[in-house]
């Protein structure tokens, strides 16, 4: 069985399209957009920790936004010039899942806005 087949078996069609094919979910459609409980956000594909609730903020962009990745440093960066735009893609360093993009218009202290697709994340409630 190929890696693609394994991912297709594990993920929904939408999760596969976003995480394995660098797609984007529709704005304001994600289940984690308004999540405000204490907890952490993990990669939908491999489970590594990516973001904490303490860095989540409401950006108004339509996707969950964070001003920093977690201390685990599992988010990687690469140039993305798709769709006629110059952006920085963010991905899971552990399994290469597409997460979204990062922009330089976020709040202090980092000035970053990690714009993340809900379907690329699992939320783990803090116990």
Cite the active site residues: 115
Distance of CA 117 to the CA centre of its chain: 5
Report the alpha-carbon distance of residue 67 to residue 112 in Å, rounded.
5
Torsion of CA 41, 115, 69, 54, to 10 degrees: -60
In 3D, which of 77, 109, 81 has the Cα closest to residue 93? 77
Lookup: tokens for 105? 């218009």
């Amino acid at each position: 069985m190929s890696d693609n087949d394994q991912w297709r078996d594990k993920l929904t069609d939408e999760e596969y399209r976003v995480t394995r094919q660098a797609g984007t979910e529709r704005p304001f459609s994600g289940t984690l957009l308004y999540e405000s409980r204490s907890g952490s956000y993990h990669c939908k594909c491999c489970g590594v920790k990516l973001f904490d609730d303490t860095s989540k903020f409401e950006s108004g962009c339509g996707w969950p936004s964070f001003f920093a990745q977690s201390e685990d440093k599992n988010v990687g960066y690469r140039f993305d010039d798709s769709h006629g735009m110059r952006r920085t893609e963010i991905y899971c360093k552990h399994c290469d899942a597409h997460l979204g993009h990062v922009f330089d218009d976020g709040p202090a202290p980092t000035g970053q806005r990690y714009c993340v697709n809900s379907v690329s994340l699992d939320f783990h409630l803090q116990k």
